Amino acid sequence: MKYAKLGKSDLTVSRICMGCMGFGDSSNGQHGWTLDESASREIIKYGLKNGINFYDTAIAYQNGTSEQFVGRALRDFGKRDDFVIATKFLPRSQEEIEKNVSGQKHIENSLNQSLKNLGLDYVDLYIYHMWDYHTPMEEIMEGLHEVVKAGKARYVGISNCFAWQLAKANFYARENGLTEFVSIQGHYNLIAREEEREMAPFCYDQNIAMTPYSALASGRLSKKPGETSARLEKDAYAKFKYDKTADSDNLIIERVMEIAEKKGVSMTEVSLAWLLTKVTSPVVGATKRSHVDGAVKAVDLVLSEEEIDCLEELYVPHALAGVMAQNGKQMAGNVV
Active site residues: 61
Smallest Cα–Cα separation from 106: which of 124, 116, 93?
A: 93
DSSP string, 150-188: TTSEEEEEEES--HHHHHHHHHHHHHTTPPPEEEEE-B-
Neighbours of 36 (CB within 10 A): 14
For residues 278 and 128, give the distance between their C-alpha atoms in angstroms, rounded to a whole number.
22
Q: Are strands 12-14 and 3-5 parallel, antiparallel or unpaired?
A: antiparallel
For residues 93 and 89, give the distance between their C-alpha atoms in angstroms, rounded to a whole number.
11
DSSP 19: E
DSSP string, 237-281: HHHHHHGGGHHHHHHHHHHHHHHHHHHTS-HHHHHHHHHHTT-S-
Neighbours of 9 (CB within 10 A): 19
